[in-house]
Structure formats: structure tokens, C-alpha cells
Structure 1
């Protein structure tokens, strides 16, 4: 998958993760893109550890599910860090 595929996958996975998570997460589309790409990488790494296979082709369902799962994890971590920082 090329860099454009990673960007599109990260943007869509980050947007879906933001829609799934309750509450309001800060950040705009740029933060969503960065967190989505990081989440896709994290999801691929977790998938390779647990299932023996990471991210596959762009149109593979496993790729999208792992990217969304990784994006949710990254958004939860980002929300915890950003929420703690705004209360100080």
C-alpha cells in the first residue's frame, strides 16, 4: 500500500473511530489524519502479534477493522493525555 493509501486509510479510520467513541475529542482533520495513520500502524502491529497477519491490501476487510481498532486505541490515549493537560 502506498503513501496515499495510508493517508486515506488513516483519515477514514480516524473519522470512524471519532464517530464510534462517545464524547468530544479535540483536534481537527489534521489530528484525525495523524492519529488515524498511527492507529492503522498500531492496529497492523497488534494484528500481526495476535493473528499472525497485519495489514493487507487496501480493500481487505481485515485491514480496515485493524486500522479502526488501532485508531480507537490511539484516540483513547490521546483523549486521556489531552484531557489531563487541559485540566491543569
Structure 2
């Protein structure tokens, strides 16, 4: 169980970092939020890939779940940075 938690944290870190590299510009987001968004995206990407799309578990690197996870993390980071950016602006 502890091994699985550590594995998901590592996968979330990788997915979050890859998502930040894919997004253009600078994101004002910390590493903890990056990891948390990455973990959620990795879980959702795995669920979508294996349960909804029926990706076959053939023993190699799972490119489809990884791509879906990175795309979801990029969307999550974009939404997160967009939502925290709106609160700090003042309108005249």
C-alpha cells in the first residue's frame, strides 16, 4: 500500500512537470500543487485509458495513459493558474 502511494506521487510529479513543460509561458504554481494536480490527472488518465477506452495492458510503457494524464494535468494547471490569477487583479 505504501509502495503504491509513493508510486502515484512519483507518477504525479512526472505528469505535473511534463504538463508544465507543455504549457506556454510561466505558471505561478508551486511544486505541491503541481504534484497534487499531477496525481489527480494520473489517476483520471489511468481510469479513462483502462476503463473507458479499454487500453490493453501489454507490459510496456503505457503511452496512451501517459499522454491522457499529461493533457489532463495541463488542463488542470491552466485552470488552477487562471483561477488564482483572477483573484489578484483589480478592475478599474
- TM-score using structure 1 length: 0.76
List per-residue Cα deviations over 1:14-36 (Å, max 9, x = no partner). Answer: 00100110121112211111111
The aligned counterpart of 2:12 is: 10
The aligned counterpart of 1:84 is: 86
CA RMSD of aligned residues (A): 2.8
* Segments ≥4 residues shifted beyond 4 Å: none
Counting only pairs closer than 5 Å after superposition, residues 1-88 of structure 1 correspond to structure 2 as 2-47=4-49, 48-49=51-52, 51-53=53-55, 59-88=61-90
Q: Is there any run of 5+ residues in structure 1 with no aligned partner, and where?
A: none
Q: How many residues align?
A: 87
- 1:68 Cα deviation (Å)? 0.6
Q: Is there any run of 5+ residues in structure 2 with no aligned partner, and where?
A: none
Call closer, same or farther: CA 1:58–1:69 in 2, change over 3 Å. Answer: farther
- TM-score using structure 2 length: 0.74
- 1:44 Cα deviation (Å)? 3.3
- 1:7 Cα deviation (Å)? 0.6
